[in-house]
Every structure is written in structure tokens, then in C-alpha cells.
Amino acid sequence: MNFIETRGNDGNRPDRVSFSQALLNPMASFGGIYAPQEIPRLADDFLAEHLHQDYQSLARDILKVFEVDIADDLLESALATYERFDDPANPVPVVRIGDRLHVSELYHGPTRAFKDMALQPFGVILSGLAQARDEHYLIMAATSGDTGPAALDTFRNKPNIKVACLYPDGGTSDVQRLQMVTEDADNLKVIGIHGNFDDAQAALKRLLGSDVFRATLVERHTQLSAANSVNFGRIIFQLIYHVHSYLELVRQERVELGDKVYLVVPSGNFGNALGGYYAWRMGLPVEKIVIASNANNVLTDLIQSGSYDLRQRRLIGTSSPAMDILKSSNVERVLFHLFGAERTRELMRQLDEEHYYQLNRDEVQAMQELFCADFCTDEEGKSYIKEYFAQGYLMDPHTATCMKAHASCCNQSAHAIVYSTAEWTKFSPSIANALTGETDSHDLDALKTIAGLANIPVPERIRQLFDKPVAQKTLVDKEDIEQEVLAFL
Ligand SMILES: *Cc1c(COP(=O)(O)O)cnc(C)c1O
């Protein structure tokens, strides 16, 4: 299967590429990204046939439907990363928390957030392709807390790959920071910066535009790549668990094969929701995809009114920081599939230059046939955390944003799957605050508070982080990042 460009072709780049090419060089003409030329359909008996197969078989067969050009043995090693999850036989448990309400837990991987779902296999594939082509890659990442740990974990000691990861010092939870700064592999460099996530991202952009930096990479025969969520090599692994979660509901006899369900997705860059969209277009019985946001509710506005307007907006820091995003990159692929490359290019140009666009009435209607959206304030999120905890289910602040959207968007007589994107251990201060009203100043105190209330232990792998030596001590001003990365290379 070929991949084509969301903003059309500029006459210089190839006008279609293979999966591996799209994965290695994710940026396309006019600042666009790659999308499948057509979305393949699952065979009529695909779902029934996979009812009694494991997650890896399902993943393998979905990748086959996309005809990915990855050697079988490399693909098998990539899928074997799911054996590192809590339950290798079922990496994504689906838990019932209400009459027709289910939670698909995407956080049972090594770094306890949903980023592992795609980055674990992605790391194996990227390193494998680099070795086969005798190429070296530098992966640059700026993280608000979940992508960093997941990227460091997946690329740790991987041949032909180096990672430089920027994080805002003080802008992540203690657990997220410790997951990064206790990484001691030679091919990993973690740089804390004085500033917020926007500063980290801006610094990354500056670095990518620097001539000295480019020249150094050329000297080292190193190519630059990004492990960010627009890479189709990540998206493809994010559609598998949507199919899996549906099959779980059938296996648990909650729904019958063919019944439509809602997928409720806590969204930032829209990669998770996009995976659901592809799964649906491939034949998964879906009623609607429900987009949950926090106070940074650009996606709510887009779906409710067709307006994507950044002119009056500032990023708001919330207790669900992985969703504190104003430019949601993967929306572009939905625009492309619905309205074509020419219209997508026009809309994205307008967003870049004028900081807004407005879909027309037909376009809004087309979006609303697929999506519904709502947002949730931190205060509302806290009350959901408290309410569900009282009923015996502990959820993190990102997952909690889904509860309001579930109430306002879903017909309550249909079943819904809410995606849980982080374990409670990663955002313990906000959760402890929701449960007790008190503010713990350290994660370890908050972890113990929650563990005490829930009568569960603090997981060993999290507790150990607090005793591990700090291997990554670099903490610099924004201006000094380039020098640090060059020294690392
Ligand atoms: C990354 C992330 C999200 C947002 O996912 P997108 O694919 O960017 O929409 C939500 N919750 C958590 C915990 C995350 O780490």
C-alpha cells in the first residue's frame, strides 16, 4: 500500500511512498504528512475470525491488511514488545465500570502511559530499518511528560539510534521526571530546560533550523527523525487496540458482534482518536467517536461549530497536561480523507498564516456524522475522579475528561468504550488532591495517600524510581540547548 501527502505534491518529492519511507521521513510536501492512499477494508469475517486470537495475531493481521513493507522477522520482534506489558497475553485489559460503560486501559506498558502502545513496537522497527540501511538517526523529542519516558525506554541501547529529549524542569510530575533522568544508556541524552513545554518545543524548532546543527549531523552521517505522533508508523499501532477493545466487549458478552459502540477518547494531538477513525473506516462497528478535551477546548469548538480559531487563545495549564495542546496535528489526516488534499492544504495554510479556519456547512455536517465532542474543566474532572473512586475505580485526570463527554455525547442505551491513557501513578498529586482536597508537595506523599485510600501498594517499579541514581543531570537555559546536543553527538 502506498502513502500520499495530505497537502498534495510539490513536484520535488515522490508523490507516493511506502510505509517504511513514510516512517523514516514523515514530513511531506508543503508541510503536510503522509496518509494511506486508500483506507483498506477488513474482510467480512475478519472480526469473527479474530475473536479467539491473541493481541499479537490481531496486530500482525491488521498490519498485513495495510501491506506494510517490513520484513517478517522485524515485525515479529516489534510485536514481541507487547510481552513487556503487565499481562503478555492481554496487553490492553478492558474493564466494566458501569452498565454500558467500559474502560480500555492503554497504560500497562513499561512507562505507564498510552504512548507505549505505539512507541514500543515503533522503536524496534525504526532501529531495524536504520540497521538494514546502514543509516544512523538522531531522534529529537520535546515532551510534556509521557512521550519522553516512552521514547527513552523504547530506544534504550538500540543500535544506530541516538535520542535527545528536552523536558521543562518543574513542568512534569516527579514520576515523569524520574523516569527520564534515571535513564543511563549511552545513546540517550535528557536535557531539562528552565522554562515551560512551549519553550522546550520552540527550542527544538530553533535547533532543527540551525545551520551548525545541520552541518554537524551531516559530518556524523546522521539523519534527523522525530518520534512524534504524526508519524504513521505510530498511528498504525494505535488503531489495533480499538479493534481489540471492541472484540473484548464481544468476548465478555457485553455486545454482540456487529453492535455499534461509542469510542470516547481523551485527545490532544488526535493520534489516539485518529486510530479509532481508521479502525471504523476499516469496518469496526462504531456509533461515533467522542473527542474529550480539557479547558484547551479547540477540538470541541471544531466539531461543534467547524471553527478552528487560535486568535484569542492561550494555552492553559491543566491537570491533564498531555492534552494541553492548541495545534492538534493529526486532525489534518481527517480533513484530508474527508475533503481531499487541495482543501486540506488551503485550511492548513490559513491556520498557519491567519491562525484560524472555518469549515463550511457541509464540511461541519460531515465531521459531525463521525465525531461528537465536549470538554471538561479541572474541577469537573476532580469530581469524576472522586465519584468513580467511590464506586471502586481509580482513574487519572486524562481519563476523567471522558466522563463528561460520555454523558453529553452518547446515547446511554448504547455501549461505550472510554480510553484510559495513564496509570494513576503518573499523576498522583492531582488525583490525591481530587480525593482528599489536600495538596501533597511530593509525588511520593501523594502516591502513599492514594495507595492508603485505595488499599493497594505503590507499585514497586514506581517506588524504586525514587531510589535510583540520577544519571541525567543536564539542566540549562534555552539558549544553551544546541551546545548540549552537539556535545552529546
Ligand atoms: C499523549 C496523551 C494523550 C493525548 O493523546 P493524543 O493521541 O495526542 O490525542 C492523552 N492522555 C495521555 C496520558 C497522553 O500521554
pLDDT given at position 176: 95
pLDDT given at position 211: 85
Rounded Cα distance between 28 and 205, Å, is 17
User: What is the CA(312)–ligand 1 centre distance, in A?
Assistant: 24
User: What is the CA(293)–ligand 1 centre distance, in A?
Assistant: 10
288-337 pLDDT, tens digit per residue, is: 999 999 999 999 999 999 999 999 999 899 999 999 989 899 999 999 99
User: What is the CA(176)–ligand 1 centre distance, in A?
Assistant: 14
385-397 pLDDT, tens digit per residue, is: 999 999 999 999 9
What atom in ligand 1 is closest to the CA of residue 398? 11
Residue span of the structural domain in which 456 resides: 83-113+233-467
User: What is the CA(324)–ligand 1 centre distance, in A?
Assistant: 9
What atom in ligand 1 is closest to the CA of residue 270? 9
User: Is 386 part of a structural domain of the chain?
Assistant: yes
Kindly tell me if the per-residue pLDDT of 478 is higher than 90: no
User: Is 170 part of a structural domain of the chain?
Assistant: no
Residues 6+ positions from 308 with CB-CB distance below 8 Å: 298, 301, 302, 331, 347, 351, 356, 357, 358
The pTM of the whole model exceeds 0.85: yes
User: What is the CA(484)–ligand 1 centre distance, in A?
Assistant: 28
Q: Which of the four pLDDT bands, split at 50, 70 and 90, describes residue 196?
A: confident
User: Is 77 part of a structural domain of the chain?
Assistant: no
User: Is 307 part of a structural domain of the chain?
Assistant: yes
What atom in ligand 1 is closest to the CA of residue 269? 8
- Helical H runs in 35-173? 46-49, 55-65, 72-79, 115-132, 147-155
User: Is 303 part of a structural domain of the chain?
Assistant: yes
What atom in ligand 1 is closest to the CA of residue 325? 8
For atom 3 of ligand 1, the residue with the nearest CA is 322
pLDDT given at position 458: 96
Rounded Cα distance between 368 and 21, Å, is 33
pLDDT given at position 489: 87
User: Is 147 part of a structural domain of the chain?
Assistant: no
Average model confidence (pLDDT) across the chain: 95
Percent of residues, the chain, with pLDDT higher than 70 = 100
Side-by-side strand order, sheet with 94-96: 94-96, 101-105, 416-420, 261-266, 286-293, 371-375
For atom 2 of ligand 1, the residue with the nearest CA is 322
For residues 462-482, average pLDDT: 93
Domain count, the chain: 1
For atom 7 of ligand 1, the residue with the nearest CA is 271
How many Cα atoms occupy the beta-carbon half-sphere of 414 within 13 Å? 20
User: What is the CA(175)–ligand 1 centre distance, in A?
Assistant: 17
Rounded Cα distance between 404 and 430, Å, is 18
Q: Taking a C-beta distance cutoff of 8 angstroms, is the pair 79, 121 a contact? A: yes
Kindly tell me if the per-residue pLDDT of 440 is higher than 80: no
User: Is 176 part of a structural domain of the chain?
Assistant: no
CA-atom Rg of the chain in angstroms: 21
H or E element at residue 382:
helix 378-390
For residues 105-126, average pLDDT: 97
Q: Taking a C-beta distance cutoff of 8 angstroms, is the pair 283, 42 a contact? A: yes
- Which residues, judged by CB distance below 6 Å to any ligand atom, belong to the binding site of ligand 1? 113-115, 146, 229, 266-272, 322-323, 398, 421-422
User: Is 125 part of a structural domain of the chain?
Assistant: no
CATH of the domain at 256: 3.40.50.1100
Angle made by CA atoms 468, 469, 473, in degrees to the nearest 5: 130
Rounded Cα distance between 270 and 272, Å, is 6
Rounded Cα distance between 417 and 220, Å, is 47
Helix (H, G, I), strand (E, B) or coil at 32: coil
pLDDT given at position 351: 96
The DSSP-derived string for 142-155 is E-SSSHHHHHHHHH
User: What is the CA(135)–ligand 1 centre distance, in A?
Assistant: 30
Candidates 301, 346, 304, 354; CA nearest to 328 is: 301
